[in-house]
């Protein structure tokens, strides 16, 4: 796919996982503003997703729809993709954004932690890509994974999350090979964009992280959304790449 002026006569369809709120909602809004039809996936935030869908449909009728699935249950993934295609008739883009994030100090890691962190950050994107691949190939589409700068530079106290995101980074490059030449596959790796809502980082920790960026400020969900939009619609010769959107934090991050 290329820019908006060259989009198909029938508007392309994008599935964004975890798109009811926060970064996922910003990605959905940006792609919708570029002319795409949007399949909003959520697991629990149905009211938020329906509110966003209503806003998007007020701009263009029947351009957004809400779908629910628990991606930790892989048996729901193929039906989710099939539902998108049944609803819109095609699938041009997939953004794997849904993710769990919490600390797992070594010595305290449980099977439940493994199931959640590896399931949401690696296993679900793999099976989503597998289910979406025939449709993306048919459309000459694009797949974008949301990774993390800590996939390459692990964060102390978060070994399992970092490992899962590292696996997703490797999967991104592997899928670029597997799905070429029909489908482009890339990743966007956020830095300090939105803080977790459960106060995992206190004020001092947040300030230290921001001060370690070269730009000395945090980013916004729109920074991620703009990068996703670029890779999805304006980068026809880019595949197998990871773009760090982190204010320069990873340029000199030691740990």
The CA distance from 140 to 151, in Å, is 28
Read off the DSSP letter of residue 242: E
Length of the chain: 255
Q: Specify the residue for token string 């920790």.
A: 205
Tell me if residue 161 is catalytic: yes
Candidates 83, 161, 185, 186; catalytic one: 161
The CA distance from 217 to 110, in Å, is 35
Contact between 2 and 36 (Cβ < 8 Å): no
Q: How many other C-beta atoms are found inside a 10 Å radius of the C-beta of residue 196?
A: 10
The CA distance from 127 to 17, in Å, is 13
Which residues are part of the catalytic machinery? 161
């Amino acid at each position: 796919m290329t820019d908006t002026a060259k989009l198909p006569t029938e508007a392309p369809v994008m599935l964004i996982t975890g798109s009811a709120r926060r970064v996922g909602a910003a990605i959905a809004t940006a792609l919708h503003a570029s002319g795409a039809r949007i399949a909003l996936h959520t697991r629990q935030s149905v009211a938020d997703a329906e509110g966003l869908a209503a806003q998007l449909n007020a701009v263009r009728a029947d351009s957004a729809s809400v779908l629910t699935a628990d991606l930790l249950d892989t048996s729901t993934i193929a039906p989710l993709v099939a539902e998108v295609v049944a609803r819109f008739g095609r699938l041009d883009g997939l953004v794997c954004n849904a993710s769990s994030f919490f600390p797992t100090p070594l010595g305290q890691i449980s099977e439940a932690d493994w199931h959640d962190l590896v399931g949401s950050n690696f296993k679900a994107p793999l099976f989503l890509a597998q289910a979406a691949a025939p449709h993306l190939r048919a459309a000459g589409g694009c797949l974008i994974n949301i990774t993390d700068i800590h996939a390459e530079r692990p964060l102390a106290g978060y070994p399992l999350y970092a490992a899962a995101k590292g696996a997703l980074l490797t999967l991104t490059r592997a899928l670029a090979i597997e799905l070429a030449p029909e489908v482009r596959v890339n990743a966007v790796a956020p830095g300090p964009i939105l803080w977790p809502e459960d106060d995992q980082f206190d004020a001092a920790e947040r300030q230290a992280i921001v001060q370690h960026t070269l730009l000395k400020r945090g980013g916004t969900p729109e920074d991620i959304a703009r990068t996703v939009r670029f890779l999805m619609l304006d980068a026809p010769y880019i595949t197998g790449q990871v773009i760090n959107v982190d204010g320069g934090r990873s340029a000199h991050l030691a740990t």
